[in-house]
């Protein structure tokens, strides 16, 4: 079996560096080029931190890159605006995009879906590549069908500004789609201190813990007569995203359609 030939856009970002490492260390993957707005015509091994990654040319211009280098997949870890342009261009050159940025508009997604359909090509856009987090959300949605009583506790380092976290809100939204709507807790419950019962999202409660030392953690607790079910994800570092990128690259090669969200390719 030939290795999957991969171009990475945004190799010097925090995610990009992990992706370069992943592709280099995976036997059936091959890094054939990178796209970067700087360092055109240099080799990746000329840059600090990449000295051991040989024979990988750098391109400023994605079109030139795709015209010159034969590839199967583009991993894009840039920005939403650039990501859209890169995905569209890659599909034009019959290269399947795996894009890890958020912020696509509905129109963007619809346009990409249409191109994929015409070209019969796979394309995966995933705002969250941490498989563990995506499974936690997916399982929460499944469990909520049987256990409508649920609370979410998310825990992050105390440098985080917003509460609740984006993942907690996304989890609550996914649960809302599957559970019978209900207002939880005792109808006459009362807070003797404001905020004790957390935030109320569609009748379920969300609690945000902030402490130094913590990284990024979330538990979803389901309760029912005589039992509780707890789903918990702990993320310790950025490496957690890479198993998701790997699955996405492998999956996009078998697809001839568009997918939004890693949860839709995990079975």
Binding residues among 191-210 for its own copies as defined by CB under 8 A: 191-201, 205-210
Binding residues among 114-153 for its own copies as defined by CB under 8 A: 130-133, 135-136, 139, 142-143, 145-147, 149-151, 153
Q: Note if 5 is an active site residue.
A: no
Distance in Å, CB of 138 to its own copies, minimum: 8
Of 41 and 183, CB closest to its own copies: 183
Q: Which residue out of 160, 170, 217, 255 is catalytically annotated?
A: 160
Contacts 24+ apart (CB under 8 A), 225-228: none
Spatial contact of 206 and 168, defined as CB atoms under 8 Å apart = yes
Cα angle, residue 135 at apex, residues 240 and 236 outer, rounded to 5°:
25
Distance in Å, CB of 264 to its own copies, minimum: 14
Distance in Å, CB of 25 to its own copies, minimum: 11
Q: Which residue out of 138, 156, 207, 246 is catalytically annotated?
A: 156
Binding residues among 200-259 for its own copies as defined by CB under 8 A: 200-201, 205-215, 221-243, 247
Q: Note if 233 is an active site residue.
A: no
The one segment of 53-61, 79-87, 91-99, 159-167 that binds its own copies by CB under 8 A: 159-167
Distance set, CA 89 to CA 32, 174, 249 (Å): 17, 32, 18
Q: Is the dihedral of CA 81, 74, 58, 127 positive or negative?
A: positive
Cα angle, residue 43 at apex, residues 21 and 77 outer, rounded to 5°:
45
Of 153 and 249, CB closest to its own copies: 153
Cα angle, residue 71 at apex, residues 66 and 74 outer, rounded to 5°:
80
Of 42 and 266, CB closest to its own copies: 266
Distance set, CA 47 to CA 10, 17, 21, 42, 186 (Å): 13, 12, 14, 9, 60
Rule CB under 8 A: say whether 163 interacts with its own copies: yes
Say how far apart CA 131 and CA 266 lie, in whole Å: 9
Residues assigned a catalytic role: 156, 160
């Amino acid at each position: 079996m030939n290795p999957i030939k991969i171009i990475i856009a945004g190799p010097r970002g925090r995610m990009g560096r992990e992706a370069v490492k992943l592709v280099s260390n995976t036997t059936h993957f091959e890094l054939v080029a990178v796209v970067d707005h700087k360092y055109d015509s240099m080799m990746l091994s000329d840059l600090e931190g990449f000295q051991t990654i040989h024979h990988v040319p750098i391109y400023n211009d994605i079109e030139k890159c795709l015209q010159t280098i034969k590839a199967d997949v583009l991993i894009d870890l840039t920005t939403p605006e650039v990501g859209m342009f890169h995905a569209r261009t890659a599909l034009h050159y019959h290269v399947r995009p795996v894009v890890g940025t958020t912020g696509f508009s509905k129109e963007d997604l619809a346009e990409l879906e249409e191109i994929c359909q015409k070209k019969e090509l796979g394309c995966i856009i995933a705002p969250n590549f941490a498989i563990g987090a995506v499974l936690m959300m997916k399982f929460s949605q499944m469990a909520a069908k049987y256990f409508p009583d649920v609370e979410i506790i998310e825990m992050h380092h105390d440098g985080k500004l917003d509460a609740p976290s984006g993942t907690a809100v996304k989890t609550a939204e996914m649960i809302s789609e599957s559970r019978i709507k209900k207002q939880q807790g005792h109808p006459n419950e009362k807070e003797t201190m404001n905020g004790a019962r957390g935030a109320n999202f569609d009748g379920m409660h969300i609690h945000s813990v902030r402490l130094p030392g913590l990284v990024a953690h979330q538990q979803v607790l389901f309760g029912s007569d005589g039992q509780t079910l707890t789903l918990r994800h702990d993320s310790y570092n950025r490496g957690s995203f890479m198993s998701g990128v790997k699955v996405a690259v492998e999956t996009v090669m078998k697809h001839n359609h568009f997918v939004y969200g890693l949860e839709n390719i995990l079975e």
